[in-house]
Amino acid sequence: MSPVIRPMRPEDVPVAERVSDEGFFELDSRMRPADAPAPERRSDTHRAVWIQRTLHFVHHDPGGCWVAEDETGMVGMATSFRRETLWCLATYAVLPGRQGQGIGKPLLAAAMDYGSACTRAMLSASSDTKAVRIYRQAGFDLHPQMYLTGVVHRSAIPVVEKVREGSAADTDLMDSLDRAARGAGHGVDHGLMLRTWRLLVSDTSTGAGYAYLDERGRLALLAASNRRTAVRLLWATLAEAPEQATVGHVTAANQWVLDVCLAAGLRLHQEGYLGLRGMKPPAPYVHNGALL
Ligand SMILES: CC(C)(COP(=O)(O)OP(=O)(O)OC[C@H]1O[C@@H](n2cnc3c(N)ncnc32)[C@H](O)[C@@H]1OP(=O)(O)O)[C@@H](O)C(=O)NCCC(=O)NCCS
């Protein structure tokens, strides 16, 4: 029996989390370079954050969240959301043993239908050969993503001034910065991020910007009105980073990230793509993998 594609309900979310974890763990194991450490399963904290975020999508964008189900249970899932004129794909996975059998494409078609009135679209793609084939067929331009990892050289960190803790009072400012960078505010997603993550803000007479640090202390999202402010915020996040730092989701339009991270002693790698429709890579901007 071929799977049925139906809307995701709140009670599906813990099962969807398992499907996504299976899909990405198998992908990480398959794509891992020989010298890279073995991939790890999601931690309990990471699972809880994933579930909270997906419940947020199901609540605000029920028309953008879908599952594929057959007599064995859930075999695939896709979550997406609309913010103003922008449609974003948050997560998309099919169980490893069921991939390449035509389950993923109708799932993505259902999610994309929800964004059919949007003029722009964003997604952060894995390097999975099937995923990139499907995204390109769906009209996405694929922009390679870089990431930087390593131990931050503390002595390289400059004195960072004009950065403060942020709060919900900064939401309008952040939405304005989002609109300038990607054409749409994060809107309700700022509420989610403010509940889950730490916010740093820089707001001076010459420029403004913000950066979120995730539950692991890593940079989760950064937007700024100019490069100088973006650089200041990135140094501030590296100053707060755990011993093993990672800065991900860097596009070629954001060479300033390389300048800062290489000066901090991190190593440069490449992984996945920023998929875009109807827009150019945002800059100065470091997107989030799910909230874009
Ligand atoms: C990406 C994913 C959701 C797609 O779901 P799926 O059920 O595998 O996709 P489908 O079977 O509907 O379509 C796969 C396409 O790739 C092709 N394909 C199948 N096996 C392939 C392979 N090994 N290499 C390249 N292409 C392949 C299929 O022919 C089909 O393309 P076509 O219709 O033009 O012929 C799924 O593969 C997955 O979960 N991957 C791991 C997690 C991941 O990368 N998710 C996306 C994150 S952004």
Each residue's pLDDT tens digit, 186-210:
999 999 999 999 999 999 999 999 9
Q: Is the pLDDT of residue 103 over 90?
A: yes
Average pLDDT over every residue of 224-253: 97
Beta carbons of 286 and 249 less than 8 angstroms apart: yes
- Residues 236 and 158: their CA atoms lie apart, in Å, by 9
**What per-residue confidence (pLDDT) applies to 37?**
78
Mean pLDDT of the chain: 97
Measured from the CA of 105, which atom of ligand 1 is nearest? Answer: 12
Q: Is the pLDDT of residue 32 over 90?
A: no
| C-alpha distances out from residue 144 to 126, 130, 158, 272, Å | 10, 16, 29, 6
**What per-residue confidence (pLDDT) applies to 230?**
98
Task: Kindly give, in sequence order, each residue whose CB lies less than 8 Å from that of residue 139, ignoring residues fewer than 6 positions away.
Answer: 277
Nearest CA to ligand 1 atom 40: 93
Q: Is the pLDDT of residue 35 over 90?
A: no
Measured from the CA of 128, which atom of ligand 1 is nearest? Answer: 44
**What per-residue confidence (pLDDT) applies to 292?**
98
- 30 CA to centre of ligand 1 in angstroms: 14
For a ligand 1 pocket test, name from 107, 130, 273 the mutation site with the most ligand atoms within 8 angstroms of its C-beta. Answer: 130
**What per-residue confidence (pLDDT) applies to 29?**
92
pTM more than 0.95: yes
Q: Is the pLDDT of residue 218 over 80?
A: yes
Average pLDDT over every residue of 117-140: 97
Measured from the CA of 95, which atom of ligand 1 is nearest? Answer: 39
**What per-residue confidence (pLDDT) applies to 36?**
77
Give ligand 1 pocket residues (Cβ under 6 A): 23-24, 27, 92-94, 99-105, 125-126, 128-131, 133-134
Name the pLDDT band for 33 (thresholds 50, 70, 90): confident
Q: Is the pLDDT of residue 102 over 90?
A: yes
User: 140: number of CA atoms within 13 Å, CB side?
Assistant: 25
Q: Which helix (H) or strand (E) holds 250?
A: strand 244-250
- 129 CA to centre of ligand 1 in angstroms: 7
Token look-up 């509420």 returns 191
Average pLDDT over every residue of 275-288: 98
Please name the residue ranges forming H helices in the chain: 13-31, 44-60, 104-114, 129-137, 171-182, 188-196, 227-240, 255-263
- Residues 281 and 272: their CA atoms lie apart, in Å, by 14
**What per-residue confidence (pLDDT) applies to 195?**
96
Average pLDDT over every residue of 72-100: 98
Beta carbons of 78 and 66 less than 8 angstroms apart: yes
Q: How many Cβ atoms from other residues are within 10 Å of residue 205's Cβ?
A: 5
Average pLDDT over every residue of 60-78: 98
Q: Is the pLDDT of residue 1 over 80?
A: no
For a ligand 1 pocket test, name from 99, 127, 129, 132 the mutation site with the most ligand atoms within 8 angstroms of its C-beta. Answer: 99
